[in-house]
Amino acid sequence: MRSTLFYIPQEIFGYPLFGMGVLLALWAGLGIAMLGWLVRKQGLNNDTLSYIPVLVLVGLTIRYLAPGISEEQGLPIRGYGVMLVIAVLSGVGLGLYRARRMGVSSELILSLAFWLFVAGIVGGRMFYVVQNWDEIVDAAPNAVADGQPGAPPETFSGKIRRTVIAIVSINSGGLVVYGALIGGGLSLIAFIYRYKVPGLALADLIAPSVVLGMALGRIGCFLNGCCYGDVCDLPWAVTFPMQNPPHSLSPAHENQIVLGQVFGLTIGADASGAPVVVDIRRGTPAASAVGLKVLQRVEKINGQETPTVNDAHRALMQAFMNSRPLELTTATGIYRLPLIEGADHHSLPVHPSQIYSTIDALLLCMFLLAYYPYRRRDGEVAALTMILHPISRYLIEIIRSDESPIFGTGLTISQNISLGILFVGVALWVYVSRKPLGTAWPTAASRAAPGSRPMAPALSHPA
């Protein structure tokens, strides 16, 4: 786990770097120079004007967002954010390489990449925000909540500001893959409609790039410690250490603490929401406690009454932070359970589900690349992606423990969405299979055949 790779200092040669500083001045100069070059090259057309919102957005980020997310050591460069950038560049690079081999315009791929990137980030973040709203607001920096003596009451505008900063701070994680795919899918449809390109052919072309980006992005999840798996004893299991400062817990470690797993058992809720012992891990002191059994109601934790499972989880975290053994009171007695050895410094061993996802996506990417030259109709590659990925994602979700079942289905939100995408993928395959044979864009092999003519659709702006 390497959440923060390094820090960019807030000052350079005594001058501020962020906000109204050196970086903003450099960006403004670069933006003006680039716009001037574009006007000289192609005039003040729609394509030139389309760069202005991006330049303004980056400028606003430097001016307002960068100072807000900076820490005492400087602006943190997160492993998650770095891998996200690498994932995007790799996906775009693969798309450009394959597009050139088929005679498809590079401008088309670059423009589409921008559409997909923005929509993917927005969709992935919105999905995460909706799914974890309470946690995001609680995690937003707040001087009053931090208990600083003499801190004035927080104003409404201050609360809005810190909430907005927490929502847009994606550099440390907080993007849901399916949210990004949904946002990117809607953006792809809009792009196809706007530029009048063959939609299924374009979807086939970019499918391997999207999957490659997913594979590399999951490495960012591993560095960040999110999207973790359940506790296991396999030889390749991994642990996530405490971060610097020492009280900073990895997501997996924090989850294991509030569930009681670091003490050898798992405390969940019964039908009424009361805390009960739902699992006792073999080989731990909890398994040796005479009389402690699954489904027993937890009445107190370290002397605190626990009428609800949330009360129990808070008491478990308090016991850990205070370095106290767990004193569990049930109807059959009081049980004193020590912390599992090493659990005060790192999480219990878990499935490296992020690496599973990376391997899965890389295999799918290679399969799609191998299948692409043999496709008989446009849409086959996209349909296969929508059929195969949901199946593997559904299975990986079984050994993940960072999401709870929803809607009374017994399935996580990602598993429910996987089933939906699988249904759409099967429907697309049936639709495509009924179309006449033929593809809009040739493969590299067919382009090299005698008498063949490359098809190179250029990006055209509608009037």
Could you give the CA distance from residue 145 to residue 372 in angstroms, rounded to a whole number?
A: 55
In a domain? residue 205: yes
For the entire predicted model, the pTM comes to: 0.78
| Tens-digit pLDDT profile for residues 201-224 | 999 999 999 999 999 999 998 998
Check residue 261 and report its DSSP letter. Answer: G
Last residue of a domain, one of 284, 305, 337: 337
Q: Is the pLDDT of residue 23 over 70?
A: yes
Task: Assign 450 a pLDDT band (cuts: 50, 70, 90).
Answer: very low
Looking at per-residue pLDDT, the higher value among 322 and 363 belongs to: 363
Q: Is the pLDDT of residue 193 over 60?
A: yes
Shared-domain flag, residues 222 and 370: yes
Looking at per-residue pLDDT, the higher value among 396 and 126 belongs to: 396
In a domain? residue 362: yes
Mean pLDDT over 135-153 rounds to: 51
Cβ–Cβ contacts within 10 Å for residue 141, how many? 13
Q: Is the pLDDT of residue 44 over 90?
A: no
Shared-domain flag, residues 277 and 415: no
In a domain? residue 38: no
Task: Assign 239 a pLDDT band (cuts: 50, 70, 90).
Answer: very high
Shared-domain flag, residues 321 and 372: no
| Tens-digit pLDDT profile for residues 386-414 | 999 999 999 999 998 777 777 777 888 88
Least trusted range by pLDDT, from 38-42, 71-75, 228-232, 378-382: 71-75
In a domain? residue 185: yes
Could you give the CA distance from residue 30 to residue 269 in angstroms, rounded to a whole number?
A: 57
Shared-domain flag, residues 191 and 230: yes
**How much of the chain is in helix, strand and coil states, percent to nearest 5?**
55, 10, 35
Task: Assign 137 a pLDDT band (cuts: 50, 70, 90).
Answer: low
Task: Assign 91 a pLDDT band (cuts: 50, 70, 90).
Answer: very high
C-alpha 373, offset from chain centre: 31
Mean pLDDT over 96-114 rounds to: 87
The predicted structure's pLDDT at residue 162: 60
Could you give the CA distance from residue 152 to residue 432 in angstroms, rounded to a whole number?
A: 63
Average pLDDT, the chain: 83
**Alpha-carbon distances of 460 from 40, 96, 193, 200, rounded to whole Å:** 19, 18, 12, 18
Shared-domain flag, residues 361 and 333: no
Q: Please report, for the domain that includes residue 292, its CATH number.
A: 2.30.42.10
Domain count, the chain: 2
In a domain? residue 48: no
Shared-domain flag, residues 231 and 106: yes
The predicted structure's pLDDT at residue 67: 79
Q: Is the pLDDT of residue 461 over 50?
A: no
Partners of 12 in beta bridges: 15
Looking at per-residue pLDDT, the higher value among 39 and 384 belongs to: 384
Could you give the CA distance from residue 297 to residue 157 in angstroms, rounded to a whole number?
A: 44
Least trusted range by pLDDT, from 132-136, 223-227, 301-305: 132-136
Q: In which domain, by residue range, is 207 found?
A: 78-132+174-238+349-448
Shared-domain flag, residues 274 and 322: yes
Q: Is the pLDDT of residue 359 over 50?
A: yes
The predicted structure's pLDDT at residue 379: 94
The predicted structure's pLDDT at residue 462: 39
Task: Assign 160 a pLDDT band (cuts: 50, 70, 90).
Answer: low
Contact predicate 388/366, CB 8 Å: no
Shared-domain flag, residues 126 and 194: yes
Closest to 98 in 3D by CA, of 205, 216, 210: 205
% pLDDT > 90, the chain: 36
Shared-domain flag, residues 86 and 179: yes
Shared-domain flag, residues 128 and 272: no
Fill in the amino acid letter for 294.
V
Last residue of a domain, one of 304, 337, 370: 337
Shared-domain flag, residues 394 and 285: no
The predicted structure's pLDDT at residue 449: 47
Last residue of a domain, one of 297, 314, 337: 337
The predicted structure's pLDDT at residue 448: 47
Mean pLDDT over 308-323 rounds to: 90
In a domain? residue 435: yes
Partners of 346 in beta bridges: 241
**Alpha-carbon distances of 269 from 11, 46, 86, 404, rounded to whole Å:** 50, 57, 41, 12
Q: Is the pLDDT of residue 32 over 70?
A: yes
The predicted structure's pLDDT at residue 159: 61
In a domain? residue 111: yes
Mean pLDDT over 368-379 rounds to: 94
In a domain? residue 393: yes
Shared-domain flag, residues 305 and 400: no
Fill in the amino acid letter for 134.
D
The predicted structure's pLDDT at residue 168: 62
Looking at per-residue pLDDT, the higher value among 166 and 285 belongs to: 285
